[in-house]
């Protein structure tokens, strides 16, 4: 299953928890695992706190501080910082499914991480039963 994610900022964390939960429901998977994968070299997927929006802001603040956009990178396309952030955060997450829903902690959410936006992106969700 492919989810469409539209971003509107250069760096952004988009909560896709409800989209993944709907994909699980639509696939009628009651038990197993789902893999949430970003096929983009300048984006990522992560799980973190979704209750307080300042957590997303803090994550991006630190990533942007330690990996600045302009730092005399050699990659000619000009988006090396986005590639580095993608590699550090990671392209996928594996999430357990129980009783037809993703298993997440009380405060956890699933985030698509945009590091070279704004763009229209794809997120793949696959199931292991």
Query: Does residue 118 have a cis peptide bond before it, meaning omega lies within 30 degrees of 0?
Result: yes
Options 2.60.120.460, 2.60.40.10, 3.20.20.540, 2.60.120.560; CATH for 2-128 is: 2.60.120.460
- 35-83 residue pLDDT tens: 999 999 999 999 999 999 999 999 999 999 999 999 999 998 889 999 9
**Angle (deg, nearest 10), helices 53-66 and 80-89:** 120
Paired residues of 46 in beta bridges? 111
Q: Quick one: pLDDT at residue 76?
A: 82
Reported as type and span, the H/E element at residue 53 is: helix 53-66
DSSP 30: -
Q: What predicted TM-score, i.e. pTM, was given to this entire model? A: 0.95
Q: What is the mean pLDDT of residues 70-97?
A: 95
Structure tokens at 39: 């096929």
């Amino acid at each position: 299953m492919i989810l469409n994610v539209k971003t509107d900022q250069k760096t952004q964390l988009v909560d896709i928890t409800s989209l993944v939960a709907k994909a699980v429901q639509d696939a009628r998977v009651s038990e197993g695992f789902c893999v949430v994968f970003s096929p983009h070299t300048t984006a990522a997927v992560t799980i973190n706190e979704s209750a307080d929006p300042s957590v997303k802001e803090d994550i991006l603040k630190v990533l942007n501080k330690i990996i600045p956009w302009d730092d005399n990178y050699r990659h000619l396309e000009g988006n090396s910082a986005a590639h580095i952030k993608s590699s550090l955060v990671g392209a996928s997450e594996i999430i357990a499914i129980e009783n037809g829903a993703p298993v997440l902690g009380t405060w956890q959410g699933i985030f698509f991480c945009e590091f070279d936006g704004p763009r229209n992106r794809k997120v793949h969700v696959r199931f292991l039963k």
